[in-house]
């Protein structure tokens, strides 16, 4: 049994970590740090978490833990590590974007389907972004075969939880309901992560990723529609994808239509591939709070702690 600490446990990702860890057979939450809520019960913020009725938020850092999850805002993780001497024995899993690029400060990019061997050997993991996870998992099999020679066009839609828990004009219920919009067109911060992973497998890649993100009028999930030119057959493409992910427990490849509810509330990724008139069309869907954040963080915890990769993550999707 390992002891876990969570920094920043009041947001969406902190709440999802607690919900999954509540039933993880090898991990127990020792503390959840929050300066503004210190002394309050966990249930004051996360009302559904009856499992943690014995636990209060704390502003005391107790380093007698094995794993530290960092769910701080972007930029705050790096500042925290500069100001606090976290013992080297503690495994750090950061859910912000502070250390995702260029193995900054010794952090390994925590996409298990790409970097599993490095993750297992490292104590500092930078959890990938949600859009980055959905998109690169749809593209990496092609990079592994040096098949990316045209621009990649992406339209992807995410739920309101992707904007974080702090209320903003575009995450407010009255704005989101019955509404759709695009944002950060071809400027999204996750593009750099995707290119970093693609060039890890296909060093010659220098094409554009034309990414149009969209805000959806639902709470959770990502569905991405991706296309690029190709000269391959349907059968060849399916074989490439299935072979690339043959040992990955959370990736499911099909040539049939898929939808977001098939993966909501799970750590699964569903990817559909079809060849249409000289183009490869890929649909990729994940739960942005689980495989796009907290579930992937626990997947990484399992790897760095020597547990089975899917331990505590056999979650059931919702059908309706």
Active site amino acids: 130
The SS3 of residue 204 is: coil
Q: Tally helices (H) and strands (E) across the chain.
A: 9, 14
DSSP at 232? -
Closest by CA position to 289, among listed 2, 9, 15 = 15
Q: Give the span between the Cα atoms of 279 and 301, in whole angstroms.
A: 38
Within a 13 Å sphere around the CA of 177, how many CA atoms are in the beta-carbon half?
A: 3
Closest by CA position to 226, among listed 192, 180, 273 = 273
Angle at Cα 264 formed by Cα 263 and Cα 268, nearest 5°? 35
Torsional sign, CA 161, 162, 164, 167: negative
Q: Give the span between the Cα atoms of 113 and 198, in whole angstroms.
A: 13
Check: CB of residue 30 under 8 Å from CB of residue 18: no
Tokens of 29: 């939450």
Name the one residue in this structure whose structure tokens are 């090898």.
26
Tokens of 41: 């019960």
What is 60-87 written as a DSSP string? ------SEEEE-PPTTHHHHHHHHS---
Closest by CA position to 202, among listed 133, 136, 266, 153 = 136
| Main-chain dihedrals φ then ψ at residue 311, nearest 5 degrees | -60, 125
Name the one residue in this structure whose structure tokens are 């249409």.
276
């Amino acid at each position: 049994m390992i002891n876990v600490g969570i920094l920043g446990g009041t947001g969406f990702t902190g709440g999802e970590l607690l919900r999954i860890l509540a039933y993880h057979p090898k991990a127990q939450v020792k503390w959840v740090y929050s300066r503004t809520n210190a002394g309050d019960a966990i249930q004051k913020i996360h009302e559904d978490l009856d499992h943690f009725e014995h636990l209060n938020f704390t502003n005391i850092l107790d380093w007698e833990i094995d794993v530290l999850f960092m769910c701080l805002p972007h930029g705050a993780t790096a500042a925290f590590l500069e100001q606090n001497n976290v013992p080297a024995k503690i495994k750090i899993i950061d859910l912000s974007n502070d250390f995702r690029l260029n193995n900054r400060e010794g952090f390994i990019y925590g996409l298990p389907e790409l970097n599993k061997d490095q993750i297992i050997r490292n104590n500092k993991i930078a959890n990938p972004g949600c859009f980055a996870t959905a998109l690169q998992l749809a593209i990496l099999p092609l990079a592994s075969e040096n098949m990316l020679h045209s621009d990649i066009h992406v339209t992807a839609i995410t739920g309101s939880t992707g904007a974080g828990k702090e209320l903003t004009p575009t995450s407010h219920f009255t704005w989101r309901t019955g509404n759709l919009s695009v944002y950060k067109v071809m400027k999204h911060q996750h593009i750099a992560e995707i290119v970093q992973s693609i060039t890890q497998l296909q060093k010659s890649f220098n094409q554009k990723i034309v990414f149009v993100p969209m805000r959806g009028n639902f709470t959770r999930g990502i569905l991405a529609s991706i296309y690029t030119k190709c000269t391959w057959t349907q059968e060849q493409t399916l074989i490439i994808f299935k072979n690339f992910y043959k040992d990955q427990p959370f990736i499911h490849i099909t040539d049939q239509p898929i939808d977001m509810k098939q993966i909501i509330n799970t750590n699964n990724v569903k990817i559909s591939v079809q060849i249409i008139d000289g183009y490869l069309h890929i649909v990729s869907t994940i739960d942005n709070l689980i495989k796009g954040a907290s579930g992937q963080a626990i997947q990484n915890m399992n790897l760095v702690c020597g547990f089975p990769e899917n331990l505590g993550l056999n979650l059931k999707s919702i059908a309706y």
